[in-house]
Structure 1
């Protein structure tokens, strides 16, 4: 299995290898970063605010004299962890509803699809702002809000795939054998949707990273004393004129994370098309 994954990674184009390296790097930072932080996250360790790079502080200090590298390593866990969990929840919920609509007939498909169309017509950021204002911004609520915001988008793609696959001959044969709807959805339709859904999962992840970072920049995301990458940008905004690393480092982190995922998705899609020819 590891050898097969290595061969697939080796077959990726250069852009895909760059994207894979960035994704692996940020996953490693999210998993092990806080343990490698040189200082406690909230400790005041520098006498100067927005201090430059030095041997003691590789990314300088922030607006309160805290070590930027330590806060970046900690903040990446919230950004990557929340976004990955929310994307997984949104994709699994949307796909389950799409499969239900595909095998449930028009009585299930029509009202469910019209409800999702209504939700997807609302801009995601406005929708999430309303939900945050109504229910708050704890970590659990942020996870649910981010997932709920992007369920309709996943449902729309998954339903289109499932409805097309439901008309295939092998699905008709399964129906003729007397297989139940659950078996048809899980055993016949879902396995043939995996690759497009994985690409969509990557896109949902990027969207949610940007959404959570935007909410944190507005002060509505992860709340102090915790901080994600968006919070680090917001709290150090006064150092923008000085070009402080305290604001540049988390901004570059968000950019490299999202660009890396996009490069990997594009490369996987390209290699998938090549195999099908």
Structure 2
């Protein structure tokens, strides 16, 4: 038996299709990532300091995005809020997708009782409504950044598991997996070198979608008062704090909403316009 290496997709042999919409979306995502990392250097005023004599102040040269319901600078609060919204969401989606994908590949390759027990347990977890689970956990334990990250990651582990398992089951049935088993390769090698490279593209796309879901769920919890607690605030908490300015069209309530929309829409556009292409592996 000979293996035609020209027809085998080596790990990392993936194609990318760039277009203008995808590049613009990527630019917005990188911008918010930069803001989240260097927020403490970008804010002109301390986030908790009252700097405006007026509340719900308009945009001006002194206060670029106006002031909030207490007279605090909204630009500073939105920039610092990016650190919490982006940081918590990235940590939660990394834990959720890493755990779910690893468990999904193990279940697909091992089969038998391992697959059955993992699938039934995670199916039971996924039957619990995500927002209800988040509300119960945060209300019972208390809201803190570690609790938020843990809660959000647990909510989305079952979905990442089901997605990765479905992909891995299809790959596990292919001939080159049989060849690897015949060579005597262990489960760890098959998962790392055979399964993962062939499902990486769809998994990364799924990661982006789950990041959007986590941002929206985190913002929803914060809007209900169960997210990041004062004096700090993420974007959802900023909307809740300044909801009283909605009848006045205050910038303090509009710009946090625009920030949430710009991040989530950009991630969706990036996924739609930068698809990963993984060629089929064939063995001759």
Q: TM-score, normalised by structure 2?
A: 0.90
Q: 1:272 aligns with which of 254, 259, 277?
A: 277
Name 2:160's counterpart in structure 1.
154
The offset of 1:18, in angstroms, is: 2.1
Structure 1 residue 126 corresponds to structure 2 residue 122? no
Q: 1:169 aligns with which of 166, 175, 182?
A: 175
Matches of 1:16 and 1:204 in 2, distance apart?
A: 18
Structure 1 residue 215 corresponds to structure 2 residue 218? no
Matches of 1:12 and 1:179 in 2, distance apart?
A: 37
Work out whether residues 15 and 263 of structure 1, in 8 Å CA contact, stay in contact via their aligned partners in 2: yes
The offset of 1:133, in angstroms, is: 2.1
The offset of 1:134, in angstroms, is: 2.5
Matches of 1:34 and 1:258 in 2, distance apart?
A: 23
Structure 1: where are the runs of 5+ without partners? Answer: 1-6
Name 1:95's counterpart in structure 2.
101
Name 1:85's counterpart in structure 2.
91
The offset of 1:193, in angstroms, is: 1.1
Structure 1 residue 105 corresponds to structure 2 residue 100? no
The offset of 1:203, in angstroms, is: 0.5
Report Cα offsets for 1:22-66 as digits up to 9, x if no partner: 111111111122311111111110000001011110011100000
SS in 2 for 1:89: helix
Matches of 1:217 and 1:174 in 2, distance apart?
A: 51
The offset of 1:116, in angstroms, is: 1.3
CA RMSD of aligned residues (A): 1.5
Name 1:37's counterpart in structure 2.
43
Name 1:20's counterpart in structure 2.
26
Work out whether residues 34 and 70 of structure 1, in 8 Å CA contact, stay in contact via their aligned partners in 2: no
Work out whether residues 84 and 205 of structure 1, in 8 Å CA contact, stay in contact via their aligned partners in 2: yes
The offset of 1:197, in angstroms, is: 0.5
Moved over 6 A (4+): none
Q: 1:206 aligns with which of 184, 192, 212?
A: 212
Report Cα offsets for 1:154-208 as digits up to 9, x if no partner: 0010000111111111111111111111111111111111100100000110000
Work out whether residues 44 and 67 of structure 1, in 8 Å CA contact, stay in contact via their aligned partners in 2: yes
Aligned residues: 266
More helix by share: 1
SS in 2 for 1:55: coil
Matches of 1:191 and 1:199 in 2, distance apart?
A: 14
Structure 1 residue 250 corresponds to structure 2 residue 256? yes
Q: TM-score, normalised by structure 1?
A: 0.93
The offset of 1:81, in angstroms, is: 0.6
